[in-house]
A = this chain, B = another copy of it.
């Protein structure tokens, strides 16, 4: 893996018509594959090798005290993000700094010594996407975009439409036309430009890329401002470390869709070590997938380096990316750190959703069920050390995927409104 902290000779932002410090301490876009550098701008693919571009920084000195004195949201870490120093002054959703809950009941159930749940279901639009979208919004603003857009089937659409409304920038959200009404409402509530596209998610995505290429001034969060967007996931890692008292956990289990979140949490841990905010120590990173869309888990288990794309078939729709862009980096990280990638069936996903709710009072969406269920399987198969301190990430709220669990739980009984009828229940 490339070094997470990089240096260049000059300040590239000064050359490109951007305002000074538009992207904070970011200095360039750097190709993850070949290392080629380009100026900061609305670019996402390396002009030399088409590899993914990542943000390169020259980090300043930053102390725990400065961070702790910051706002109770992701901007407390602004010195480590591609955002300007005055980011709090621009209207935004103020996401992040969600609860890190000690999960003693779930730990006991799974036979773990020490377990924490990082609960991103309490973000403003109830998923971790508020983090990445907040960083994409900052980039859109600095690049003077006129439209803030995305293709999505769920969480991302909610986050983009909401953040754009609050920022006062025009939003356009593209969805497959067969999306269920409740999911359409969750985005349409925030924007008058919800556009239904006759086709599947791949068709919607392709159309978005075409529009991003043809139209000026459109910032598609997960297309042409993706490098900035993706950096937002680092804040999950920063928060976990800070909330543990400025130290890293021994093990962490993270869901894998494109794989971006897992790579960015690892990047966050490496950066914290590099800038001296936490002590260096070994930790193991585990990826979680649903069996119905498990190309990375399959590659991990077969010991190959190549990801074979699949056609997704799982209730964990927010993880259903058949050709994950960062899959190979996930393999690298999980193997290098001594972790693993695991997958579970849809029935195991449902059971894990109920398990988390009944042990810790957290109602997670199918992606979180996948992650908790994989944690369970990793313990049972001896791949995860039950004695080590473990963190599991819950990325979103169960209210968004109610249909997945609606037939699994329900009323214990229906009774007449009398004390006798109650007593007969034997509760």
Contact = CB atoms under 8 A, between A and B. Distances in A.
A190 B99 contact: no
A162 B406 contact: no
B122 A409 contact: no
A264 interface: no
Contact of A105 (B168, B188, B399, B417): B168
A251 interface: no
Interface string A375-405: 0000000000000000000000111101001
A125 interface: yes
A357 B190 contact: yes
Contact of A93 (B175, B357, B361): B361
Given A97-B72, A361-B165, A411 B91 contact: no
Contact of A413 (B195, B363, B405, B415): B195
Contacts of A126: 126, 397, 399
Given A91-B104, A185-B409, A422-B211, A193 B427 contact: yes
Given A97-B72, A105-B91, A411-B195, A417 B185 contact: no
Interface string A145-184: 0010000000000000111111010001001010001101
B177 A414 contact: yes
A353 interface: yes
Given A105-B166, A184-B410, A353 B189 contact: yes
A131 to B, nearest CB: 14
Given A94-B99, A104-B91, A191-B358, A363 B186 contact: yes
A418 B208 CA distance: 10
A61 interface: no
Contacts of A165: 105, 357-361
| Residue of A99, A122, A126, A397 with most chain B CB atoms under a 10 A cut-off | A122
A361 B419 contact: no
24 contacts: A94-B99, A105-B165, A122-B123, A126-B399, A163-B361, A166-B359, A166-B362, A185-B406, A186-B399, A188-B409, A189-B358, A189-B363, A189-B398, A190-B357, A190-B361, A192-B358, A193-B427, A196-B414, A197-B414, A197-B415, A198-B414, A207-B417, A211-B419, A397-B399
